[in-house]
Amino acid sequence: MSGMRTAAANPPLDSAAASVSPALGEPLATATRPSSLPCVHCGLPTDCSTDSDPSRVFCCAGCLGAYQLIHGWGLEDFYALREQMKSSGTARAASKDSRYEQFDSLEFLGPSRPTEFSDGTCGAEFAVHGLHCGACAWLIENAAAREAGLLSARVRMSDHTVRVQFDPQRTKLSRVARLFDSLGYGLAPIDAQRDRQIQIASRRLLVQIAIAGFLAANAMWIAVALYAGEYSGVEPQYRYFLGLVGISLGVSAVLGPGRTFLVGALASLRTGTPHMDLPVALGLGVGGLVGTVNAVVGRGHVYFDSLATLVFLLLIGRWIQFRQQQRAARAVDLMLRITPRHATLLSNTGQEQLVLVDTLVAGDRIRVAPGESVPADGEVTRGESSLDRSLLTGESLPVGVAVGDTVAAGTVNLTSPFDLRVTATGRDSRIGQVMQAVEMAASERTPLVQLADRIGGVFVVTVIVLAVATFLIWLPHSLPAATAHATALLIVACPCALALATPLAIAVALGRAAKGSILVRDGQALQQLASVGTLWLDKTGTLTEGRQRVSSWYGSGEGLRLAAALEAQCRHPVAQAIVREAERQQVQLPTQAELECVLPGGGVSGRVEGRRLHAGNASLMQAEGIAVPEEFAHHMQRLADHGESPILLALDGQIVSLLGLSDPIRDGARELVDELQGLGWSVGILSGDHPAIVRRVGEQLGLPLTRCFGALSPEQKLAAIRDSRHAGQTVVMVGDGANDAAALAAADVGIAIRGGAEVSLQAAPIFIASGKLLSIANLLRGAARTTRVIHSNFAISLSYNLLAVGLAMTGLISPLFAAILMPLSSVSVLALTLARKTFPEGQ
């Protein structure tokens, strides 16, 4: 407000009372003296001395006159408002800088806080606002090289997120956010509103298509009238009017629904990374400019129908790509699918309180009840139990835990409650580390992806160069001819068919695959599966049923009747297998059975019809002082050699029966392996189960033992996948559990099958919903056919463009005929794509 007080204090000036700089061309009386005072009206420097009154200094007589006029009309607030706008602009700039600086605050980042890697670099994931299509992703990933220290940026269109890897010694996240903002994309920490934002983006795109379609349809009707008038005649005033209406429709399509291409082109020019939006924007811009000029002067063609139709078709292609990326359901959050939302916290006095898992910290004591998932990594401080670790490690048998043992989040407590001292939660837990490995592996790029972008990049530069060359070649003849031929080239060569070639082929293939219960989240996976390479299979739940059953029995049949009565009171998978076997044999169970003790990792004991019964492994019998006869020991070894788990039954201190538990091989497993090998794939097994069991399964499936690996942790599976990729061949991982998530993401293509799909879908781009193993072979064949269709579409598109560009450069086609040819290329690609059978109906 100081400016207002100064203005009010100074009355209108006489010319003689003001210090005015000499006019242009007049000699300066004070040329040797440096200027130091600005003009009161415009702020430009003057040549007045510093001893002049600063409130009466003007650079010229014009500013003096303007100053007097403003005061004479009582508009003194003009200067105060001007100062306010200056300070407001400074404040906005400071506010914008402050907004960037927030990204250096861990409190602000929340779930997007950086993770440090062993090589000293950091990674972080953010939500991206303003993403429209693959061209946006391509621009962001290529512009990352503009920021020193930003090593990579990988966009995931499925949930509109970007994962950046950067060197904290060379750059900060605030500078990364500033770079993204300069491209027209806003970064924000990941929150729960991502899905809603994607839905809004989808609806916005559909509205744009509807508007473009409305404009294109009306423009075509007007174009038909004008084209007919070329032959039958039309009054000049009507032709002029229809031309103006038509060009207004075309320009509205460009500036409205087509604005997204203009924004992409501007961002491309700012970063120096041309992509497919650039020739589209050039074609739209030149066509709109020339058409507008011709419409106003009333001569020449206006191209408004081709403008609106081009925008409409390109938006349809963009929507197809968007829908393809959203086709399969994504896991909401890998952590929330594995660990519970709540935990039972124990106070110092032992009182229980239900709290959110996110509030747990290292050192807290929690209680885990039977049937619950362990919410955090920790150490058992009280109690004993058995854990189902199949979701994490793939082990088919439960593992006993006692005081002092460590347990991992995501495992399931089977038998008894126990207390746990928390050592790690969230991303710091073991399953959290696996999730981060999933995210990092999912952001890696292989040499076979982004084929359309690579071709499009060359296409963009070529089209622009050829358009300029065409203009220069025809310029000596006439400016209208040069403009017409260059415009015809840009219109006819706009990469509509090229942009539609891949998403159309993939979308049709995905629809047909879905009818056979093969859900594909990422169409690029189909292209990669077309190359034969190495295919790794998980064992538990993939090649086998993932459920224990009694496969062998030796000794007294009475043992089954008594053991089943005792095991019916236990939730252990081994117990359930014995009960199912008794039900299958229709054994009448005793009514007098009392379960006394469940020994984690060992077995059970109790009384049945007044007799003492123990059921468990050899360790249990040894702990109870029960000797194992030599004949039973011999059969136990035979069971182990055949990949079966031996369970002993002792009655009143004497071994009476021996049963073998196995995880049966699924129907179709051998046929699948034979088909895969027949297609040229190198097939192997990666499993967390016992090596002897894995080797046995491999033998039954006809696999070489050198390709069957057991007792692997999730980290070891991930290492095996990465080692396979070093050979340069396509690597495929087929699994069904959270333990496979990192390996599924690290492979070139991950295929989730049957159980654990919700967890694995975040890492695996393909899910076999039916669980049929032979669907994997159908998938590989369909992927090869789809890739051939994509290559055919590219060949057709490029051949069309070569022919069309040649005709345009030689002047054999006019912009009018170019507008007619342009949609024909897209229609031909669509027709040929629909005609090719990628996946058979019903499979």
**Among the ranges given (350-354, 399-403, 755-759), the one the predictor scored with the smallest mean pLDDT:** 755-759
Residue whose C-alpha is closest to residue 681's, from 700, 703, 666: 703
Same domain, residue pair 591 and 711: no
- Over its C-alpha atoms, the chain yields an Rg (Å, rounded) of 37
Three-class DSSP labels, 250-280: HHHHHHCCCHHHHHHHHHHHHHCCCCCHHHH
Number of domains in the chain: 7
pLDDT band at 404 (very low <50, low <70, confident <90, very high): very high
- Residue 652: is its pLDDT beyond 70? yes
Q: Tell me the pLDDT tens digit for each residue of 323-337.
A: 654 543 343 343 334
Same domain, residue pair 83 and 126: no
Kindly state whether residue 98 falls inside one of the protein's structural domains.
no
Same domain, residue pair 354 and 290: no
Q: What are the residues facing 537 on neighbouring strands?
A: 685, 734
Half-sphere CA count of 555, side-chain side, radius 13 A: 25
Longest dimension (CA), the chain: 127
Domain final residue, candidates 152, 167, 191: 191
* Percent with pLDDT over 90 in the chain: 12
Q: Averaged over 353-357, what is the pLDDT?
A: 85
Q: Averaged over 591-596, what is the pLDDT?
A: 82
Q: How far apart are CA 143 and CA 272, in angstroms?
A: 8
User: 520 φ, ψ to 5°?
Assistant: -115, 120
- Give whole-number Cα distances, 734 to 395, 743, 761, in Å: 17, 9, 12
- Residue 591: CATH number of its domain: 3.40.1110.10
- Residue 538: is its pLDDT beyond 70? yes
For residues 513-549, b (16+ Cβ closer than 10 Å) or e, as one string? beebebbbbbbbbbbbbbebbbbbbbbbbbbbbbebb
pLDDT band at 682 (very low <50, low <70, confident <90, very high): very high
* Percent with pLDDT over 70 in the chain: 71
- Residue 180: CATH number of its domain: 3.30.70.100
User: 829 φ, ψ to 5°?
Assistant: -65, -40
**Among the ranges given (118-132, 658-672, 677-691), the one the predictor scored with the smallest mean pLDDT:** 118-132
- Residue 758: is its pLDDT beyond 60? no
> Which range marks the domain in which residue 813 is found?
452-517+785-843
SS3 content of the chain, % helix, strand, coil (to 5): 55, 15, 30
Contact status, residue 309 vs residue 283, Cβ threshold 8 Å? no
Element (H, E) at 809: helix 774-809
Same domain, residue pair 652 and 669: no
3-state secondary structure of 625: coil
Q: Which segments of 256-380 does DSSP mark as H helices, in order?
A: 259-271, 277-297, 304-325, 334-338
Provide the pLDDT for residue 126. Answer: 86
Q: How far apart are CA 365 and CA 378, in angstroms?
A: 9
Q: How far apart are CA 377 and CA 383, in angstroms?
A: 16
Q: How far apart are CA 759 and CA 736, in angstroms?
A: 9
Kindly state whether residue 239 falls inside one of the protein's structural domains.
yes
Kindly state whether residue 719 falls inside one of the protein's structural domains.
yes
Active site members: 538
Question: What is the token pair recorded at 188?
Answer: 């924000």
Whole-angstrom distance between the N-terminal and C-terminal Cα of the chain? 78
Give the range with max mean pLDDT: 49-63, 491-505, 525-539.
Answer: 525-539
Same domain, residue pair 639 and 682: no
Q: How far apart are CA 636 and CA 288, in angstroms?
A: 84
Provide the pLDDT for residue 332. Answer: 30
Same domain, residue pair 654 and 609: yes
Provide the pLDDT for residue 108. Answer: 78
pLDDT band at 13 (very low <50, low <70, confident <90, very high): very low
Same domain, residue pair 222 and 322: yes
pLDDT band at 587 (very low <50, low <70, confident <90, very high): confident
pLDDT band at 734 (very low <50, low <70, confident <90, very high): very high
Same domain, residue pair 34 and 156: no
**Among the ranges given (22-31, 132-141, 567-576, 696-705), the one the predictor scored with the smallest mean pLDDT:** 22-31
Same domain, residue pair 215 and 302: yes
Q: Please, what sign has the CA dihedral across residues 274, 276, 278, 279?
A: positive
Task: Give the residue with greater pLDDT, 568 vs 95.
Answer: 568
Kindly state whether residue 234 falls inside one of the protein's structural domains.
yes
Same domain, residue pair 114 and 56: no
Task: Give the residue with greater pLDDT, 162 vs 4.
Answer: 162
Q: How far apart are CA 707 and CA 685, in angstroms?
A: 6
Provide the pLDDT for residue 617. Answer: 83
**∠ CA 291-292-293, rounded to 5°:** 95
Q: Averaged over 133-138, what is the pLDDT?
A: 62
pLDDT band at 21 (very low <50, low <70, confident <90, very high): very low
Domain final residue, candidates 771, 799, 834: 771
Same domain, residue pair 461 and 598: no
Q: How far apart are CA 628 and CA 637, in angstroms?
A: 12
Provide the pLDDT for residue 678. Answer: 92
- Give whole-number Cα distances, 95 to 216, 564, 590, in Å: 43, 72, 78
Contact status, residue 253 vs residue 215, Cβ threshold 8 Å? yes
Same domain, residue pair 58 and 23: yes
Backbone angle region of 323, left / alpha / beta, with phi > 0 → left and psi within -120 to 50 → alpha: alpha
Provide the pLDDT for residue 796. Answer: 81
pLDDT band at 649 (very low <50, low <70, confident <90, very high): very high
Name the amino acid, one letter, at 662. S
Kindly state whether residue 220 falls inside one of the protein's structural domains.
yes
Domain final residue, candidates 662, 681, 696: 662
Provide the pLDDT for residue 345. Answer: 92
The answer for residues whose C-beta is within 8 angstroms of residue 33's C-beta and 6 or more apart is 47, 49
Question: What is the token pair recorded at 28?
Answer: 């300066």
Residue whose C-alpha is closest to residue 370's, from 348, 401, 326: 401
Kindly state whether residue 441 falls inside one of the protein's structural domains.
no
- Residue 26: is its pLDDT beyond 50? no
Kindly state whether residue 717 falls inside one of the protein's structural domains.
yes
Q: How far apart are CA 522 and CA 764, in angstroms?
A: 9
Kindly state whether residue 440 falls inside one of the protein's structural domains.
no
